């Protein structure tokens, strides 16, 4: 199967994908965490600092770059001394589906959920919800096995090199505050995508991602250790290894698709070089819906719940169960 991969085309598609370019602007861990904080109502410098425990200069730099991207708008809330609150913009709110996919993933597979809401309640229907990725065209839940891919490199993005520097590794558990974001870094997401595109061998991955052997070997080892990849011996050639997705990495689909879609539509204004095609025959455009009422989720209609409130929120089906108890 893997022999059928067009390595040259895959390399070009990955390099010009809205995913790798999107990860270049948003994939850095602190940036993601500052953004996640926005959706939990953080607006002031001190609030982020307290919640994330990051150095002042790093936070100031991230707030500046998010401002330059049009994702946070500083507005003074105090004049003497002058202090700003940072408000989300329409472009930020369009990232909500992606943020929901991060929460959903972290809840299922993350190692720590400190700082994340323990449950989400949909104000529209009153139920506790699981953010669910669905196809905009047919409404069916997304399933990676019911999705094909078409590769169409985007010339405008091929000319620019995505800003994928060395992602700093923040050891898990180094501070109790760092779990507002995704444990998975941008290179892991690109490696997962390359495997989805049919690259299962070391040399294929190294070529399509343009990563040197020693760095790639380290990354693959880390991903196998953390359960994001499975490494098997190739049945046809015992010296070669095959890298495959695991349930945890397959579940990153929502995050990957939502980020690519946001980056293409709201930032680069370019189509995606990796076009997912749903089994219904339409291009797969993500819609994140409430698992209970199936309505698209909007930030102002979802309440993050913590502690007691999360324990008390109704799970889908609880209401009818309660009604049955009442009438019994």
Q: Which residues of the chain form contacts with Zn ion (CB under 5 A)? A: 122, 125, 135, 137-138, 278, 280, 290, 292-293
Burial label for 285, CB within 10 Å (0-12, 13-18, 19+), is middle
Distance in Å from the first CA to the final CA of the chain: 57
Q: Which is nearer to Zn ion, 12 or 291 (CB)?
A: 291
Contact 223, 22 (CB under 8 A): no
Nearest distance from C-beta of residue 122 to Zn ion, angstroms: 3
Copy the structure tokens of residue 102.
């991060």
Nearest distance from C-beta of residue 148 to Zn ion, angstroms: 11
Q: Which is nearer to Zn ion, 164 or 297 (CB)?
A: 297
Nearest distance from C-beta of residue 112 to Zn ion, angstroms: 27
Nearest distance from C-beta of residue 124 to Zn ion, angstroms: 5
Nearest distance from C-beta of residue 103 to Zn ion, angstroms: 16
Nearest distance from C-beta of residue 35 to Zn ion, angstroms: 24
d(CA 42, CA 100): 17
Q: Which of 25, 48, 60 is nearest to 115 (CA)?
A: 48
Q: Which is nearer to Zn ion, 171 or 281 (CB)?
A: 281
Burial label for 50, CB within 10 Å (0-12, 13-18, 19+), is exposed
Contact 121, 129 (CB under 8 A): yes
CA distances from 26 to 45, 197, 290 (A): 19, 22, 25
Q: Which is nearer to Zn ion, 167 or 293 (CB)?
A: 293
Q: Which is nearer to Zn ion, 89 or 303 (CB)?
A: 303
Q: Which is nearer to Zn ion, 178 or 313 (CB)?
A: 313
Contact 171, 32 (CB under 8 A): no
Q: Which is nearer to Zn ion, 293 or 314 (CB)?
A: 293
Contact 2, 205 (CB under 8 A): no
Nearest distance from C-beta of residue 198 to Zn ion, angstroms: 22
């Amino acid at each position: 199967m893997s022999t059928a991969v067009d390595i040259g085309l895959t390399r070009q598609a990955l390099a010009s994908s809205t995913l790798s370019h999107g990860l270049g602007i948003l994939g850095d861990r602190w940036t993601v965490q500052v953004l996640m904080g926005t959706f939990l109502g953080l607006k002031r410098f001190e609030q982020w600092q307290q919640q994330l425990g990051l150095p002042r200069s790093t936070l100031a730099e991230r707030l500046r770059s998010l401002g330059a991207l049009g994702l946070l708008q500083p507005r003074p809330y105090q004049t003497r001394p002058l202090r700003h609150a940072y408000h989300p913009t329409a472009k930020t709110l369009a990232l909500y589906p992606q943020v929901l996919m991060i929460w959903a993933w972290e809840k299922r597979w993350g190692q720590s959920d400190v700082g994340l809401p323990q449950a989400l309640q949909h104000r529209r229907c009153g139920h506790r919800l699981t953010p669910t990725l669905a196809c905009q065209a047919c409404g069916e839940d997304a399933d990676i096995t019911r999705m094909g891919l078409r590769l169409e490199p985007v010339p405008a993005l091929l000319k620019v090199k995505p800003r994928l520097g060395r992602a700093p590794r923040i050891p898990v558990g180094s501070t109790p505050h760092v779990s507002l974001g995704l444990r998975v870094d941008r290179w892991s997401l690109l490696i997962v995508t390359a495997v989805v595109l049919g690259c299962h061998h070391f040399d294929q991955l190294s070529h399509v991602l343009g990563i040197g052997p020693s760095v790639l070997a380290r990354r693959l080892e880390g991903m196998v250790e953390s359960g994001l990849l499975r490494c098997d011996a190739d049945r046809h050639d015992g010296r070669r290894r095959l890298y495959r997705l695991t349930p945890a990495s397959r579940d990153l689909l929502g995050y990957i698709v939502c980020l690519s879609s946001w980056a293409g539509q709201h930032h680069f204004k370019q189509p995606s070089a990796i076009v997912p095609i749903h089994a219904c025959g339409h291009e797969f455009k993500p819609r994140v819906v409430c698992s209970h009422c199936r309505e698209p989720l909007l930030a102002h209609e979802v309440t993050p719940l913590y502690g007691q409130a999360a324990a008390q929120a109704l799970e889908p089906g609880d209401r009818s169960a309660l009604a049955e108890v009442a009438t019994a």
